[in-house]
Structure 1
Amino acid sequence: MSLRIVVCVKYVPDATGDRRFAEDLTTDRESVDGLLSELDEYAVEQALQIAEDADDAEITVLTVGPEDAKDALRKALSMGADKAVHVEDDDLHGTDVLGTSYVLAKAVEKTGYDLVVCGMASTDGTMGVLPAMLAERLGVPQVTLLSEVSVADGKVTGRRDGDTATEQLEAALPAVASVTDQSGEARYPSFKGIMAAKKKPVESLDLDDLDIEAEEVGLEGAWTAVDDAAERPARTAGTVVKDEGEGGKQLADYLAGQKFL
């Protein structure tokens, strides 16, 4: 039987752009370009490597987002994934991480899976908890924050590197895994891959397809909310220390005043 791998990816605002909140205090995605989250590229890469080592494997990339989120799917498809699933619905606007994990779980179950691979966090929310929430909703084990990952004999194994120790983790399939940015450089899509991606299937789903009620997601169903936000103040000129014989002392006094010393 083919190994069914689902990679969860996210379409995020470009970190180099001028990111801000919209009037309803959700992320303004209209005024800045978006792209596939860089940390999710590592998840796609590891899924591709697992598939290359398997006798038979199929990779589906899955995202929840607006129409433009298809760009993230196309990037993953051009890297080598086989097909894509896009969950899009106007009622998803404002969905928090708990709601997103619910939608993803429903979509993963509908798609079918043996292994779900995620990045360690999204580059916009940076919460890093979605893989664990997804595993809980699916009722399967999780092996998260892996710098190495492999699949063999019906198990997913990997190495988690911490500040003071390294752990070897193992879980029986089906399971959820997340990988870090230390897991290996993601490949660049080739011209052939980019052209091939245009012909690969992208399935569109909405809340009705997943048997999800509108009030369970979106701003109405969110368990978290932003109460207030203010623009970051403009950068001010720094303090210039001129060395006229006592530059070292002035620098030390400044650092002490800022409680750096």
Structure 2
Amino acid sequence: MTGRQLFSIMGEVEDSMIQEAETYRILKGSRKKKIMGKALIGAAACALLAAGGWLAFRALGAGENGNSLDLPNSHNVAAYYAEPESGNTAMADLPWFTEEELFHGENTDIFRGKVTSLKNIRVEFGEETLEELQYRAVAEIQVDKVYRGSCTPGQTVKVLLPCPAGLALWIEDTKTVSQMEEGTEGIFMPVRYDETDVWKEGDGALQLSDLAEYGFLDGERYAFLEKEGKLIYADWAYPSLESSSGLEDVEALIARQLAEG
């Protein structure tokens, strides 16, 4: 998954911060030119990891050190299971992509399945890390049907969310994936991580595949959820789904897009 950027929780970003953050990801190979536009968005997200904020997380259990996740390919970084306190924050505006670009701009896997586990986490890069804006969630999804990608039906995969799960902590531009719960059925379009997907801050480096096999490029447009008979998705990004009522309509759109691609 060379050169992809995972969206992070975003706020106000200065141009100088974006330029400085362009080194956040290694962009290599023939796909570099193709993804530079998305790389800038990811760079903005990275810059915000150093920005101030006021969100607070509460670690679960007896203490942070008792809830740490194993990160064998990372260094000078720790991750803990955590739950959010109430609060809110804003994200920078998402770049506009057509439906075709959303399906074909990045080599996402596309599959249907059910969320079987969902846990919030906090990531800390040693003493240099601020307490703010370091929060994510990891979902385990049992795959039922595969439209594109290397996973198989019956397999359970881990997917990193660009925000914590749940609505207690409101984060702009993540309203789709933040509504995921255990038992939620949906169609998911994450990217598969490889060794080039590294979140760096200071002298710390977190290989994202230590947390999950997959990740969403943003929290709005790469998931379609079905809850209580309603379809939850970024309706503004998929105008052809305007009158849709369920995941079967999303499946039909996917079939058309893949046939044309």
Which structure ranks higher in relative contact order (CA pairs < 8 Å, sequence separation ≥ 6)? Answer: 1
Name the structure with the higher helix share. 1
Same fold, judged at TM 0.5 (above):
no
For normalisation by structure 2, the TM-score amounts to 0.25
Name the structure with the higher strand share. 2
Structure possessing the higher radius of gyration over alpha carbons: 1
